[in-house]
Amino acid sequence: MTKGLVTIFGGSGFIGRYAARTLVEKGYRVRVACRHVNTAADVRLAGAPGWVDIVQANIRNRESIERALDGAVAVVNLVGILFESGPQSFESAQRDGATLLAEVAAEKGIKTFVQVSAIGADLESKSDYGRTKAEAEEAVRKAVPTATILRPSIVFGPEDGFFNKFAQMSRFAPALPAIGGGKTRFQPIYAGDVADAIALAVDLEGAAGNTYELGGPRAYTFNEIYDFILKEVDRRRFKISLPFFIMRPAGYILGAVWRYIPPFSWGMLGEPPITGDQVEMLKTDNVVADNALTAKDLGLTSLESIESIVPTYLWRFRPYGEFNKAADA
């Protein structure tokens, strides 16, 4: 006996895989809606045969959304981008897509809607990422007033693009960039804990209509995160302080190159090192606000720390592998 069907848009991504598994454990059948079904085949392993289904859908296409929501009792929207590429902009991927999805969900009478946003979402933000995240929240709440909004800080886990990125960078770069002096604060939260928050938001009637900010057990400055990474990968690197007024225009140039100029725009060379919009986001601390509802208010009282999880997957960046003994500091 199941609790019903939950459709996850963006379910083939980093957080989506964790969310699918957790929702199945809670007794829900899961439908993963994604643009490229070939990238989501392994998500079926989140549950026994018949518990996880994969459908092709585009969050900007009404007909595909309607098909993906057929029979669903709840919707989770995880669609988001960290940088713009080709025709895909923050407005289209984050604001317009969420708006259309919420409107279709409302038409189908679905009242349980979980919008995964981000700390830093603000209608007045100078960052397009932060502004469109806030615009998406506003549009979702307008269409589905009972929607639950989750705003995680930096999310970590074995597949993350944060700790892995800088650990990889430390293998080749003689120094690491401390943008803005490395003073920006983050409150990293484990992907499994975000998945638990999503499942609770689906399950608990008391979560409807609320906004929760999700952060881990403690906050760190960018420099402290660098120090932690370098200790785990057993490497010594300088940190170069780079002011915002230099990195912002440099970031916009890099972002434009990766968006418009082949072969960078083809995605063959990965993500841009930094974009101007990301530099803009770094001007503001990425931590849970003092007056915000938090993971604890959802019922999550025990959260994983970076010290307990991150070392289990950064070992591969050490000079001599997993069993290499760290050098004395």
Residue 140 lies in a domain: yes
- Residue 72 lies inside a defined structural domain of this protein: yes
Q: Is residue 85 part of a domain?
A: yes
pTM recorded for the entire structure: 0.94
d(CA 288, CA 56): 35
Closest CA to 115 of 141, 84, 92: 141
Rg from Cα positions in the chain: 20
Structural domain tally of the chain? Answer: 1
Query: Residue 24 sits in which domain range?
Result: 5-155+189-215+287-300
- Looking at per-residue pLDDT, the higher value among 192 and 324 belongs to 192
Peptide bond into 158 cis (omega under 30): no
| 277 lies in some domain | no
Residue 166 lies in a domain: no
Residues 6 or more apart whose Cβ sits within 8 Å of residue 325:
none
* Token couple for 83: 């940088």
Mode of pairing for the β-strands spanning 293-294 and 211-214 = parallel
User: Does 296 reside within a domain?
Assistant: yes
User: Is 62 part of a structural domain of the chain?
Assistant: yes
In the chain, the N- to C-terminal Cα span, in Å, equals 56
The model's confidence at residue 329, banded by pLDDT at 50, 70 and 90, is: very low
How far is C-alpha 220 from the chain's CA centre?
18
Which tens digit of pLDDT belongs to each residue from 124-145?
999 999 999 999 999 999 999 9
Residue 308 in any domain: the answer is no
Tell me 124's DSSP state. Answer: T
CATH number for 14: 3.40.50.720
Q: What is the mean pLDDT of residues 82-94?
A: 88
Which pLDDT tens digit goes with each residue over 158-217? 999 999 999 999 999 999 999 999 999 999 999 999 999 999 999 999 999 999 999 999
- The candidate with the shortest Cα–Cα distance to 5, out of 72, 68, 67, is 72
